[in-house]
């Protein structure tokens, strides 16, 4: 086999359809566009979603949903998850190390799920008001 003898597979290459070249070609006269109408004219096209003046589907249906970009960098951690950690000073890096949050997380909120059992300090973590009240009560004791 030589490079000069290589050929594409049979039926792989087809000649392009030459329109408007006489009746015998099967694509003469109207060139496959049919008779009259917007689509038969040169430059005749309709916008995507256009339904001939009828209200388009994408405008008939109501708007749905919203995706906050803040949620991409924010995560939640429960107290029960934090209790399982052995560290006393807990920050976002510690949570990432223990696979409690993903690497792109910049803000973490602590959610109250069980009563506080172990004393640990949270750095750079925000918490719910209920949790703050429990922490104040614990410090007063």
**For 4-35, what is each residue's pLDDT tens digit?**
999 999 999 999 999 999 999 889 999 999 99
Domain membership of residue 84 as a residue range: 69-140
Give the Å distances, CA to CA, from 37 to 22, 30, 33, 43, 45: 22, 12, 9, 12, 10
Q: Does 126 fall in a domain?
A: yes
Distance of CA 117 to the CA centre of its chain: 39
Residue with tokens 């909120």: 109
108, pLDDT greater than 90: no
Q: Does 36 fall in a domain?
A: no
Q: Does 110 fall in a domain?
A: yes
Has this prediction a pTM greater than 0.75? no
Domain count, the chain: 1
């Amino acid at each position: 086999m030589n490079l000069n003898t290589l050929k594409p597979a049979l039926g792989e290459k087809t000649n392009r359809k030459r329109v408007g070249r006489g009746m015998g070609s099967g694509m003469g006269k109207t060139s496959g566009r049919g008779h009259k109408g917007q689509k038969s004219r040169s430059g005749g096209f309709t916008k995507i979603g256009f339904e001939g003046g009828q209200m388009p589907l994408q405008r008939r249906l109501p708007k749905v949903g919203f995706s906050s970009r803040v949620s991409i960098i924010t995560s939640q951690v429960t107290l029960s998850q934090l209790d399982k950690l052995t560290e006393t000073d807990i920050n976002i890096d510690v949570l990432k190390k223990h696979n409690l949050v993903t690497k792109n997380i910049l803000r973490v909120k602590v959610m109250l799920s069980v009563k506080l059992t172990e004393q640990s300090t949270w750095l750079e973590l925000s918490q719910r008001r209920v949790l703050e009240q429990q922490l104040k009560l614990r410090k007063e004791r």
